């Protein structure tokens, strides 16, 4: 199993290219299921979840191909494919549930494994099911699978008004894709506003979908009978960018993040500025600099445009360096503090009470062996390792590889002393 060996204490300096967003690429790959014509994506990040999604689509009978330097990937989903997502693949990646909406919309049936538990919380898919049922789908759960079909005599889903009990990102994406090919109008109330949603909507519009309101909490979709192929650039990964912002800031460095977008990182940048970090928009990216003297910041995770849960662990690593106490509240997932115990092994002083973590910043951190527990937790341990004295060994970095495009190479490019070691 691969580990990352980090010798902390160096300031990160230089330039880094931010990849396409994992959380946009995954639904956009599934959108290729909506047409038999070729769909070309550019700027697809090279990471494990993308490889899993490609395998999932290929397993159904979708032809996939990679091309070019710029993360090019093409898909052709023929009329004759098998609309199934097996447990073996779904269990490794929850986002596989994104196949459900498009399969049902185009083929009128789908068999998709239930994702099961997840380290950061129970993460049910009840809202996905309820929303598609509102559009007429008949969905039963048997033997761990969702079996979805259309009522007898129907050829398409029917537009509906869907109000979810909570804001759900992949739920909104499933409804968008299903509604694009449904009969009539669908209105999504309480829709997620994360930048990956308008990026998917823009792609669907290029395919011929009729969508308005994307990027707001009310999206209106007029279903069409057919969608076409398209070419689309995956939006830059705001979470990868935010992770590098925190890493550079924590080490007291200075860097240019190509393709990073300030407009997608408002809540994170506001907190960084309050912490004493300089973040500026420049042509084609973001410039960040810090003298390493930071003030810890309290924050609460909420849906976009609030502070992203996917940045909670990385900003907590920054708070370890910052002077003063801070309180971090996680409102999205019930068990997303697993990095805390590992950070303690580095000398961090953190106490937790349910969804609230209290951090005593400015304490000396010293390198240790730590274990990655989930994707973003892994990134936070890397940041903590970059500032800790001596050597930190981060184990189980397959979590990191799920969602970061060659992170250690990019960090080395910024001057970090970090290497991958295989056992
Ligand atoms: C997406 C992101 C993930 C991010 C999360 C929250 C992708 C591929 N993943 O995950 O990186 O951390 O948004 O920003 O885009 N819920 C239910 N029932 C449902 C659906 C959701 O109870 O049917 C709950 C979840 O357990 C969670 C909350 O709603 O507590 C938000 O989850 P959701 O937005 O759906 O997360 P994902 O789309 O899975």
pLDDT in tens, 230-286: 999 999 999 999 999 999 999 999 999 999 999 999 999 999 999 999 999 999 999
> Would you state the pLDDT for residue 421?
95
Within 195-243, strands assigned E span: 210-212, 218-222, 230-233
> Would you state the pLDDT for residue 423?
78
Question: How many Cβ atoms sit within 10 Å of the Cβ of residue 273?
Answer: 12
What's the predicted TM-score (pTM) here? 0.97
Tell me the C-alpha to C-alpha distance, in Å, between residue 372 and each of 3, 19, 340, 361.
10, 22, 11, 22
**Number of helices (H), then strands (E), in the chain:** 14, 24
> What's the CA gap between 378 and 418, in Å, rounded?
14
**SS3 for 310?**
helix
> Is residue 122 very low, low, confident or very high in pLDDT (cuts 50, 70, 90)?
low
> Would you state the pLDDT for residue 127?
95
DSSP per-residue string spanning 47-63: SHHHHHHHHHHHHHT-E
Percent of the chain with pLDDT over 90: 93
CB 9 within 8 A of CB 413: no
Q: Find the DSSP H helices in 207-356.
A: 238-250, 266-275, 312-321, 339-345
Instruction: Mention every residue, 6+ apart, whose C-beta is less than 8 A from residue 315.
Output: 246, 268, 271, 297, 299, 307, 328
pLDDT in tens, 344-363: 999 999 999 999 999 999 99
CB 65 within 8 A of CB 73: yes
> Would you state the pLDDT for residue 118?
61
Question: How many Cβ atoms sit within 10 Å of the Cβ of residue 153?
Answer: 5
Nearest to 269 by CA among 255, 287, 254: 287
Q: Which residues belong to the annotated binding site?
A: 22-23, 94, 123-127, 310, 332
**Residue among 30, 118, 230, 246 flagged as catalytic:** 118
> Is residue 187 very low, low, confident or very high in pLDDT (cuts 50, 70, 90)?
very high
Nearest to 393 by CA among 413, 415, 364, 423: 423
Edge-to-edge, what's the strand order for the sheet holding 109-113? Answer: 84-85, 109-113, 145-149, 138-142
Q: What is the mean pLDDT of residues 104-116?
A: 93
More confident residue, 335 or 282: 282
| Ligand 1 environment, Cβ below 6 A | 23, 26, 94-95, 121, 123-128, 166, 168-171, 309-310, 332-333
CA of 418 to the centre of ligand 1 (A): 32
> What's the CA gap between 200 and 98, in Å, rounded?
12
Q: Which residues belong to the annotated binding site for phosphoenolpyruvate?
A: 22-23
The preferred substitution site among 332, 355, 374, 376 for testing ligand 1, maximizing ligand atoms within 8 Å of CB, is 332
> Would you state the pLDDT for residue 327?
98
CA of 33 to the centre of ligand 1 (A): 22
Mean pLDDT across the chain, nearest whole number? 96
pLDDT in tens, 389-422: 999 999 999 999 999 999 999 999 999 999 999 9
> Is residue 8 very low, low, confident or very high in pLDDT (cuts 50, 70, 90)?
very high
> Would you state the pLDDT for residue 264?
98
> What's the CA gap between 233 and 171, in Å, rounded?
22
> What's the CA gap between 80 and 216, in Å, rounded?
36
> Would you state the pLDDT for residue 124?
86
* Torsion of Cα atoms, 263 then 268 then 270 then 272, to 10°: -130
Percent of the chain with pLDDT over 70: 98
Secondary structure letter of residue 170 according to DSSP: H
> Is residue 116 very low, low, confident or very high in pLDDT (cuts 50, 70, 90)?
low
More confident residue, 124 or 26: 26
Q: What is the mean pLDDT of residues 28-52?
A: 97
Nearest to 164 by CA among 192, 204, 140: 192
- In this structure, the chain runs to a length of 423
> Would you state the pLDDT for residue 335?
87
Q: Which residues belong to the annotated binding site for UDP-N-acetyl-alpha-D-glucosamine?
A: 94, 123-127, 310, 332
Instruction: Mention every residue, 6+ apart, whose C-beta is less than 8 A from residue 293.
Output: 252, 276, 323
Ligand 1 atom with the smallest distance to the CA of 94 is: 39
118 is catalytic: yes
Which structure tokens are listed for 175?
């409804």
Checking if the pLDDT of 69 tops 80, the result is: no
Protein residue closest via CA to atom 4 of ligand 1: 310
Nearest to 106 by CA among 162, 168, 39, 30: 30
> Is residue 1 very low, low, confident or very high in pLDDT (cuts 50, 70, 90)?
confident
> Would you state the pLDDT for residue 270?
98
> Would you state the pLDDT for residue 355?
96
> What's the CA gap between 164 and 182, in Å, rounded?
19
> What's the CA gap between 22 and 93, in Å, rounded?
12
């Amino acid at each position: 199993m691969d580990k990352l060996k980090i010798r902390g204490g160096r300031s990160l300096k230089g330039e880094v290219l931010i990849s396409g967003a994992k959380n946009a690429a995954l639904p956009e790959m599934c959108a290729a299921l909506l047409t038999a014509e070729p769909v070309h994506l550019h700027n697809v990040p090279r990471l494990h979840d993308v490889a899993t999604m490609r395998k999932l689509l290929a397993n159904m009978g979708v032809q996939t191909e990679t091309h070019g330097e710029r993360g090019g990937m093409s898909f052709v989903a023929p009329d004759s494919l098998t609309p199934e997502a097996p447990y073996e693949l779904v269990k490794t990646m929850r986002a596989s549930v994104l196949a459900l909406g498009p399969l049902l919309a185009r083929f009128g049936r789908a068999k998709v494994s239930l994702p099961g538990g997840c380290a950061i919380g129970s993460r049910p898919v009840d809202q996905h099911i309820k929303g598609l049922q509102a559009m007429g789908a008949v969905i039963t759960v048997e033997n761990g699978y969702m079996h979805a079909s259309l009522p007898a005599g129907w050829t398409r889903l029917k537009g509906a008004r869907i109000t979810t009990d909570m804001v759900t990102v992949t739920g909104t994406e499933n409804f968008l894709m299903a509604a694009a090919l449904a009969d009539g109008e669908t209105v999504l109330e309480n829709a997620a506003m994360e930048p990956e949603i308008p990026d998917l909507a823009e792609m669907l519009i290029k395919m011929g979908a009729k969508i308005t309101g994307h990027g707001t909490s009310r999206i209106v979709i007029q279903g069409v009978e057919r969608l076409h192929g398209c070419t689309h650039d995956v939006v830059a990964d705001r979470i990868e960018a935010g992770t590098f912002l925190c890493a550079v800031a924590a080490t007291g460095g200075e860097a240019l993040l190509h393709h990073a977008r300030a407009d997608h990182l408002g809540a994170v940048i506001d907190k960084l500025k309050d912490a004493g970090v300089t973040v500026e928009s420049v042509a084609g990216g973001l410039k960040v600099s810090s003298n390493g003297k930071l003030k810890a910041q309290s924050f609460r995770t909420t849906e976009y445009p609030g502070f992203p849960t996917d940045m909670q662990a990385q900003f907590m690593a920054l708070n370890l360096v910052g002077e003063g106490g801070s309180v971090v509240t996680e409102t999205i997932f019930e068990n997303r503090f697993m990095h805390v115990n590992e950070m303690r092994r580095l000398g961090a002083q953190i106490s937790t009470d349910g969804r609230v973590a209290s951090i005593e910043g400015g304490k000396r951190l010293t390198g240790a062996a730590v274990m990655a527990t989930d994707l973003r937790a892994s990134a936070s341990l890397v940041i903590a390792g970059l500032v800790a004295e001596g050597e930190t060994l981060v184990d189980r970095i397959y979590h990191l590889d799920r969602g970061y495009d060659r992170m250690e190479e990019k960090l080395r490019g910024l001057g970090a002393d970090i290497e991958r070691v295989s056992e």
